[in-house]
Amino acid sequence: MDDDKPVLDQVTDAIGTAATATADTAKTVVKKVRKAARKAVKKVMPKKGAKQGKKAKKAAKKTARKAKKANRKVAKKAAKKSKKGKAKKSRR
């Protein structure tokens, strides 16, 4: 502390420098946090992931359609078999 300056001036200068230092550190911390958040988002959700998602959805729809067709065929065959079996039994 300078003995030439009054104590009040010295205290206000110290508080002012502390406030600016705090503001500067807060800005740097915010910048670092934002940068880290961006990196985390890129790791979690890469840009190519969206296109792959669309492709996966299309593939899932195709497999769902194929599964429905297969189920219909199986149901038809089962219905035919059950009708034939019942007809044979009723004739006897």
37-83 pLDDT, tens digit per residue, is 988 887 777 665 455 577 777 788 888 888 887 887 788 777 776 66
- Residue type for position 83: K
Q: For the chain, what is the domain count? A: 2
Q: Are residues 41 and 56 both part of a single domain?
A: no
Is the pLDDT at 1 greater than 70, yes or no?
no
Percent of the chain that is helix, strand, coil (3-state, to 5): 90, 0, 10
Q: Where are the beta strands (DSSP E) in 1-92?
A: none
Task: Determine contact, residues 32/24, Cβ cutoff 8 Å.
Answer: no
Q: What is the pTM of this model?
A: 0.38
Can you tell me which residue has the tokens 């359609």?
65
Q: Residue 36 is part of which domain span?
A: 1-45
Compute the half-sphere exposure of residue 63: CA atoms within 13 Å on the CB side of its CA: 6
Q: Are residues 51 and 80 both part of a single domain?
A: yes
Q: Are residues 64 and 86 both part of a single domain?
A: yes
Which one-letter DSSP state was computed for residue 81?
H
